A and B are shown apart, each in its own frame.
Chain A
Amino acid sequence: MPHLKKEFQVKAGDFVHAGKGSMQIQSTLKTIGYDPEIIRRASICAYESEMNIVMHGGDGTIYLTVDDRWIIIEACDDGVGIEDIELAFKEGYSTALEEHQEMGFGAGMGLPNIKKNADSVKVNSSKNKGTYINMFFRTDKNHG
C-alpha cells in the first residue's frame, strides 16, 4: 500500500492557475491506481477547496496524504476565515464576489459539495483566523 505526502501551494486571487494543484492530486491518485469513483470524489473536493482558497483564502496550501486506509486532503489558508461554519455548509449561502461568479463559481455550493463527496469533513475556522479543512476518503474498501 502506498504512503505519501505531497503539498501544493495556492495563491489568493490567481484564477488562471486555480485547479492546477487539484489536477496534480488527481493524476497522483490515478498513478497509484485507486478506483475511479474515489479519485473523482477526492479530486472534486480538492478542487472545490482550491477555488475557495483562491476566492476567499489569502494564500494557502493543500496537502495530500495517502496511507493504507485513507486519502486525506487538507486545505489551509490564512484568509478571512468563516464566521458561521454551519451557514457556510448551507447550499446557496455565499460571500463570493461578482467576479467569482463570472468565473462560474461563488454560488454557495463549494462546502456542501465537499460534504457530499467526502466520507468525512472537519472544518476549523473563525473570522480573520484563516481556514483549515480536513477531508477524508476511505480507501480500504475501494483499493484493489
Chain B
Amino acid sequence: MDSDKTPAIRLADVKEILNAEVVVGHDRLDTEVTGGAASDLMSDILRNTKEGALLLTGLNSVQVIHTSVIAGMAGVVFVRGKRPNDDVMAIAREHNLPILTTEFNMYSSCGRLYSKGLKSIR
C-alpha cells in the first residue's frame, strides 16, 4: 500500500498541515520528507530508521536532537505545543536540523500527515 504514488511531502507542507511554527531551519523548508516516525522512545527510532524521515515526538530533550542527527532525520516535530529549551535549540542549530512545533497532539499530528500522503517509514 506504500507503493501508491503520492506527491512528495516537504517540510513546508508539514508546517502547513500541522499549522506548525518553525523554530529552527527556516531556510530548509524545501527538504523532502521520506516518511514519518512517531515515538517518545529514542531506542525505537534508532531501531527503525530511514534517511530523511520526519520524527514526531513529545519528548523534549537533547537526546531527541542527537538521535535525529545520528538517524539522518529530515526534521523533528514537537507535538502538544512543546517548545524545545535553549540547549535543545542550540544543538539543533549547530547541526542544521529543522525543528517545528505544533499544538496538535501526537495522534492528530500523525493522522493529519498520513491522510496527506506521508507514509510510515516501514
Contacts and interface: CB of A to CB of B under 8 A. Distances in A.
Contacts of B113: none
Most buried by A among B40, B44, B46, B67: B46
Interface of A: 15-16, 18-20, 22-23, 26, 36, 40, 43-44, 46-48, 103-107, 109-110, 113, 116
B15 interface: no
B43 A40 contact: no
Nearest to B57: A104
A23 B63 contact: no
Contact of B66 (A18, A106, A110): A18
Given A16-B87, A36-B51, A104 B41 contact: yes
Interface string B64-86: 10110111100000000000000
Chain B interface secondary structure, helix, strand, loop or mixed?
A: helix
Contacts, number: 70
B66 A104 contact: no
Chain A interface secondary structure, helix, strand, loop or mixed?
A: helix
B95 A40 contact: no
Nearest to A37: B51
A18 B63 contact: yes
A48 B63 CA distance: 12
Interface residues of B, number: 23
Contacts of B43: 104-107, 109-110, 113
Contacts of B108: none
A133 to B, nearest CB: 16
Given A44-B46, A44-B49, A105 B63 contact: yes
B24 interface: no
B23 interface: no
A47 B49 CA distance: 14
15 contacts: A18-B66, A19-B66, A20-B66, A23-B66, A23-B69, A40-B49, A46-B70, A103-B63, A104-B39, A104-B40, A104-B41, A109-B43, A109-B46, A109-B47, A113-B47
Given A19-B69, A103-B61, 13 more contacts: A15-B61, A19-B67, A40-B51, A40-B71, A44-B71, A46-B70, A47-B66, A104-B39, A105-B41, A105-B43, A106-B43, A109-B47, A113-B47
B62 interface: yes
Contacts of B70: 19, 22-23, 26, 43-44, 46-47
